Structure 1
Amino acid sequence: MRDKAYRSVVKTISWRTVGTLDTIMIAWLVIGKLEFAVTIGGIELFTKMVLYYFHERTWNKIKFGRMNDSDIEYQI
C-alpha cells in the first residue's frame, strides 16, 4: 500500500498549520513580541513543510511496519 503524493501534501499543510501556530504561541510567550513571533512562525512554516514532505515521501518507500492489502492475518 502506498500513499499518493497529494495525500502527503495535504498532510504536510495540515500538520504545519498546527505546528506553526504552536511555534508562534511559544515564541510569543518567551519573547513577548507578537511581530517577532509571527516572523519566526512564518520562516519555520516553509522550512519545516519542505522537510516534512520529503520525510513523508521517504517513509512511504520504506516497507518497515507495513502490510500489503493481500496479507490477511486471519480467515473467517
Structure 2
Amino acid sequence: MKRDLIKTLSYGFFHILVGFSIAFALTGSVAIASGIALIEPMANTVLYFFHERVWKRLGRRKQTDAEDLSRHHRGAHA
C-alpha cells in the first residue's frame, strides 16, 4: 500500500507539471494554467490509485485461480 501511495504522489506531481506547462503554453495565463493543472491531474491521480489497486487485485485473483487449477489437476491424477 505504501508503494502505491508513493507511486501515486510521484505520478501526480509530474502530471501537474505537464498539465501546467501545456495549459500555460496554450493560454499564457498563470491563473488558468494553475487551475487546469490542479483540477484535472488531481482527479486523474485519485483514479490512478484505484486503477492500481484493481490491477493488483486482478493479479492476485489470477494467481489464486492458477493455484486452484493446479491443485485440481494434481488431485485428479492422484
Q: What is the TM-score of this pair, normalised by structure 1?
A: 0.72
The structure with more radius of gyration: 2
Offset of residue 61 of structure 1: 1.2
1: CA distance, partners of 2:36 / 2:59? 36
Percent identical across equivalent pairs?
A: 32
Q: Could you tell me which runs of 5 or more consecutive residues in structure 2 were left unpaired when the two chains were aligned.
A: 64-78
Name whichever structure is richer in helix by fraction. Answer: 2
> How far apart are the structure 2 equivalents of 1:48 and 1:26?
16
The 5 Å alignment of 1:30-45 reads: 30-45=26-41
- Cα distance in 1 for partners of 2:17, 2:34 equals 9
1:47-75, CA deviations, whole angstroms, 9 ceiling, x for partnerless residues? 112100000101111229x98xxxxxxxx
| Deviation at residue 46 of structure 1 after TM alignment | 2.0
Find the counterpart in structure 1 of residue 75 from structure 2.
none
For residues 1-76 of structure 1, the aligned pairs below 5 Å read: 5-63=1-59
CA RMSD of aligned residues (A): 2.0
Poorly superposed stretches of 4+, deviation over 2 Å: none
State whether residues 19 and 41 of structure 2, in contact with CA within 8 Å, keep that contact through their aligned partners in structure 1: no
How many equivalent pairs are there?
62
Higher relative contact order (CA closer than 8 Å, sequence separation 6+) = 1
Amino acid at match of 1:34: V
TM-score, normalised by the number of residues in structure 2: 0.70
| Stretches of structure 1 lacking an aligned partner (at least 5 in a row) | 68-76
